[in-house]
């Protein structure tokens, strides 16, 4: 089975993330969306909310699993037997950042990183932009899956 891990904080999941996951399930037998837990970061949405947004968005897709993890991504890949790390690239800055991580991960393990370019219509969306729109009471619904809601 070809299993890919798609790691991130998903605070919140965006249409860009959604697109990468949808395209990833065409390439892999299973895509594990892994929400990283980082006690040093403060999040807009709780871990439970973030996990719920993703589970609801993919409730009808059996090839998508949603989990949480702590520590190094490559260590978690070994725990769940994922042979690949899936990452989306929006721009050249993303590429440079992700390339360094991918080289490091491959140096430390045998896990390959697979990059997918974001769709043109979602390439400008980031979780930080979504959070800013939410903080300023803007219409964020055009940037995220329907499952993302603010109470």
Q: Are 73 and 36 in contact (CB under 8 A)?
A: yes
Exactly one of 3, 50, 87, 127 is catalytic; which is it? Answer: 127
Exactly one of 26, 39, 41, 42 is catalytic; which is it? Answer: 41
Residues 6+ apart with CB under 8 A from 24: 4, 6, 31, 86, 116
One pLDDT digit (tens) per residue for the chain, 151 residues: 999 999 999 999 999 999 999 999 999 999 999 999 987 889 999 999 999 999 999 999 999 999 999 999 999 999 999 999 999 999 999 999 999 999 999 999 999 999 999 999 999 999 999 999 999 999 999 999 999 988 6
Length of the chain: 151
At 38 the pLDDT is 84
Which among 42, 22, 13 is positioned nearest to 86, based on CA atoms? 22
What is residue 45's three-state secondary structure? coil
CA–CA distance, 89 with 48 (Å, rounded to integer):
26
At 60 the pLDDT is 97
CA–CA distance, 28 with 147 (Å, rounded to integer):
24
17 is catalytic: yes
Exactly one of 22, 63, 65, 90 is catalytic; which is it? Answer: 90
This prediction has a pTM of 0.95
What is residue 12's three-state secondary structure? coil
CA dihedral in degrees (125, 99, 19, 11; nearest 10)?
-50
At 51 the pLDDT is 98
Q: Are 21 and 147 in contact (CB under 8 A)?
A: no
At 40 the pLDDT is 82
At 39 the pLDDT is 77
127 is catalytic: yes
In order of start, what are the domains of the chain with their CATH numbers? Answer: 3-135 (3.40.50.620)
Residues 6+ apart with CB under 8 A from 138: none
């Amino acid at each position: 089975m070809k299993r890919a891990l798609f790691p991130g904080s998903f605070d919140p999941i965006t249409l860009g993330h959604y697109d990468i996951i949808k395209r990833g399930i065409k390439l892999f037998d299973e895509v594990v969306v892994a929400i990283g837990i980082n006690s040093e970061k403060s999040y807009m949405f709780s871990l439970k909310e973030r996990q719920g947004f993703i589970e609801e968005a993919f409730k009808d897709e059996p090839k998508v699993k949603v989990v949480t993890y702590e520590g190094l991504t490559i260590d978690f890949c070994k725990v769940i037997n994922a042979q690949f790390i899936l990452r989306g690239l929006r721009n050249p800055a993303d590429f440079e950042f992700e390339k360094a991580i991918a080289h490091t991960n491959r140096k430390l393990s045998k896990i390959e990183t697979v990059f997918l370019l974001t769709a043109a219509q979602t390439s400008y969306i980031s979780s930080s932009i979504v959070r800013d729109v939410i903080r300023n009471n803007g219409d964020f619904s055009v940037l995220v899956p329907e499952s993302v809601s603010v109470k």
